[in-house]
Amino acid sequence: MQTQEDVKELVRQKYSEIALQDKEINQSSCCGSGCCSTEVYNIMSDDYTQLEGYNPDADLGLGCGLPTQFAKIKKGDVVIDLGSGAGNDAFIARNETGETGKIIGIDFTPAMIDRARQNNEVRGFNNVEFRQGDIEKMPVTANTADVIVSNCVLNLVPNKDAVIKEIYRVLKPGGHFSISDIVLEGELPKQIKEAAEMYAGCVAGAIQKQVYLELIEANGFKSITVQKDKAIIIPDDILSQYLSAEQIEAFKQSGTGITSITVYAEKLTEEKKACCGPDCCN
């Protein structure tokens, strides 16, 4: 049975390897016979190329949505990107905030931080920084961010509740987040849930969609909205590494849905949170 620290080390190792590769290599490299291991990551990717501020060299194809597209970022905002990777979402967010805003990317993989900092140095952005740290214990003071974004990262974290609590802590009163993640509707086969490769590819670490949304609500967030809902289909050549032909067919017939969702939610202002009179709105 893997501990939470075992899972974190697995993810750190896999994403350290990916940080040293280009997106094209991630999409085409193979290890062993049959399927490309990195295809697990790339079947979930959305097309960033039409977004203002997009930088191909900062895009490793690891996302499962376009959270910055939905994040309602304004000029001058402080934006935190959780699991910032090579900097793709951070640079798109910087395009939205302009020079008067501030972008903080957080990633716990040293190789990703190094790559993001190199990408930032090339661009000369003095209001973008990348901090190494665990998003379960963010290296950020409370009430810092106007907006938090994250792209296919919370499902890699064993303690999702801790991350959501941290998001609430570091958001300013009245701030909000837009987060893309992989969630489930129905139970994955045991072989996939226990597969390290599938965990690092975000699938085996996913939780039930309803549980995910309930965690957000339980931590005090309001105006919770699913901004985008996209089905993820895992190809048979990937499934065949973990399941027999009969098990693959049973999985397809089970009704289990693997979905990329982008979720928006707001932290209440202090005034609303403190309201306890007869005229207070819940």
Closest listed residue to residue 35, CA positions, set 242, 238, 239, 247: 238
Residue 191: predicted pLDDT: 85
Is 187 within the bounds of a domain? Answer: yes
Q: Which domain holds residue 54?
A: 4-269
Instruction: Give the pLDDT confidence score for residue 103 in this predicted structure.
Output: 98
pLDDT at position 86 = 92
What is the per-residue pLDDT for 34?
A: 32
Q: Is residue 280 part of a domain?
A: no
In a domain, 193, yes or no: yes
CA dihedral of 145, 51, 15, 187, whole degrees rounded to 10: 90
Predicted pLDDT of residue 227: 97
Give me the pLDDT at residue 147, please: 98
Give the model's pLDDT for residue 38.
Answer: 47
- Residue 278 confidence (pLDDT): 52
Strand pairing category for 102-107 and 78-82:
parallel
Per-position pLDDT tens, the chain of length 282: 567 776 676 677 777 777 666 655 444 332 222 334 444 545 566 667 678 887 777 777 777 889 999 999 999 999 999 999 999 999 999 999 999 999 999 999 999 999 999 999 999 999 999 999 999 999 999 999 999 999 989 988 889 999 999 999 999 999 999 999 989 999 888 888 777 566 555 676 788 999 999 999 999 999 999 999 998 888 888 888 889 999 999 998 988 888 899 999 999 986 454 444 455 554
Angle, alpha carbons 160-161-165 (nearest 5°): 120
Nearest of 282, 204, 270 to residue 241 by alpha carbon: 204
The per-residue pLDDT for 220 is: 97
Bridge partners, 151 (sequence order): 180
CA angle 198, 200, 204 (to 5 degrees): 45
Counting the structural domains of the chain, the total is 1
CATH of the domain at 41: 3.40.50.150
Whole-model pTM? 0.83
Biggest alpha carbon–alpha carbon distance for the chain:
67
276 domain-assigned:
no
Look at residue 158 and tell me if it is in a domain: yes
218 part of a folded domain: yes
The Cα 176–Cα 221 span in angstroms is 9
The answer to whether 223 and 265 are in contact (CB under 8 A) is: yes
Burial of 245 from C-beta contacts in 10 A (0-12 / 13-18 / 19+): exposed
Query: What are the structure tokens assigned to 2, written together?
Result: 């893997």
* Inside any domain, residue 275: no
Q: Is residue 262 part of a domain?
A: yes
